[in-house]
Amino acid sequence: MTEHAPLIIDVAGTQLSADDRRRLAHPLVGGVILFARNWQDRAQLLALTAAIKAVRHDLLVCVDHEGGRVQRFRTDGFTHIPPMRALGELWMDDGKAGQGSGALRAMDAATAAGYVLGSELRACGVDFSFTPVLDLDWGESGVIGDRAFHRDPRVVAMLARALMQGLLQAGMANCGKHFPGHGFVRADSHTEIPVDRRSLKAILADDAAPYPWLSTVLTSVMPAHVIYPKVDGRPAGFSAKWLQDILRGRLRFDGAIFSDDLSMEGARRIDGQVVSYTDAGVAALNAGCDLLLLCNQSLGDGQAVDELIAGLADAQAAGRWQASRASEARRQALLPETLPQPWDDLMVQPAYMHALDLLP
């Protein structure tokens, strides 16, 4: 077993370059995150994912593919998954069928969405999608918006659980994000550092409530690049208090923890200082992250990716962070255990066709 391969990096184009292969072969690299620029059509995507697995069979091939506006592959047969808010609206619509009927229809539709999403990705060689969003729809956050199921954490938890069941039927793990909640703050952590000034009690009672309710089914979590100053001065993804004391200790979560993208503005500023990718990565690992995401840095000369790989290796040699067998086991647990259905078989499978009919 690999000692600990925490880095999830991207690749520049629709096929692997020699630089991509060199980086993916490095023992600190544990996976790849794909974007729309890596997509041309299904045949190309299948060839790309096969080429990634040929470098190392245990690399985790990931994508942000939630539905709505966050869906990387949209053509050549891929189903347009509705935004998660559509499932929350279905929950509220009982029509003439009696109280609670909307909730039951919405849960069935959420399972269908998870199954369609997961099985289509897996048919193209993708192992894992960063979904579902567990943030609450406060109506304030432009970056979350209709990506959230609902304002009520109970509705969010039930619809997320149903979606996860569909992912599981497709053989795919899940990722709850963005812990402990990004929906309350207006600022976008891609470009600035949001601050949520509520108390720990208020956050745990509301935005973070889905996490303990989903403790038996969550396989991974991504923390928010948000600062909650009443709890810690560091963003949640760099906070041992949030990740170790609260998420692992108090909420007893034992799955994988991903950092959010280290290239985001909210990830590069720790304790008021702008830090390097390496320092951000070391801080995230020491706070309790198992895996580190660095996105969109392989474009051009890819210098930032090479710097992070070399910097992380040097930091490990200098004892600034310790490899963790438990973290590596959590990464490997996200790899599918079943063979995917080939696309043409999937298209005529009764369960898949039924799931398509259930999507709102």
Query: Which residues are known to be catalytic?
Result: 190, 260
Rg, Å, the chain Cα set: 20
Amino acid at residue number 154: R
Amino acid at residue number 170: A
- The answer to whether 116 and 155 are in contact (CB under 8 A) is no
| Strands (DSSP E) found in 43-144 | 60-63, 65-67, 70-71, 128-129
Alpha carbon separation from 45 to 48, 121, 286, 340 (Å, rounded): 5, 10, 35, 15
| CA atoms within 13 Å, Cβ hemisphere of 172 | 34
Q: What strands, in cross-sheet order, belong to the sheet with 256-257?
A: 176-179, 220-223, 256-257
Report the C-alpha gap between 27 and 174 in whole angstroms: 24
End-to-end CA distance of the chain: 43
Nearest one of 131, 157, 179 to 289, comparing CA atoms? 179
For residue 125, the tally of other CB atoms under 10 A from its CB is 19
Q: What strands, in cross-sheet order, belong to the sheet with 7-9?
A: 128-129, 60-63, 29-34, 7-9, 292-293
Report the C-alpha gap between 33 and 16 in whole angstroms: 13
Report the C-alpha gap between 53 and 61 in whole angstroms: 8
Residue 74 structure tokens = 């949209």
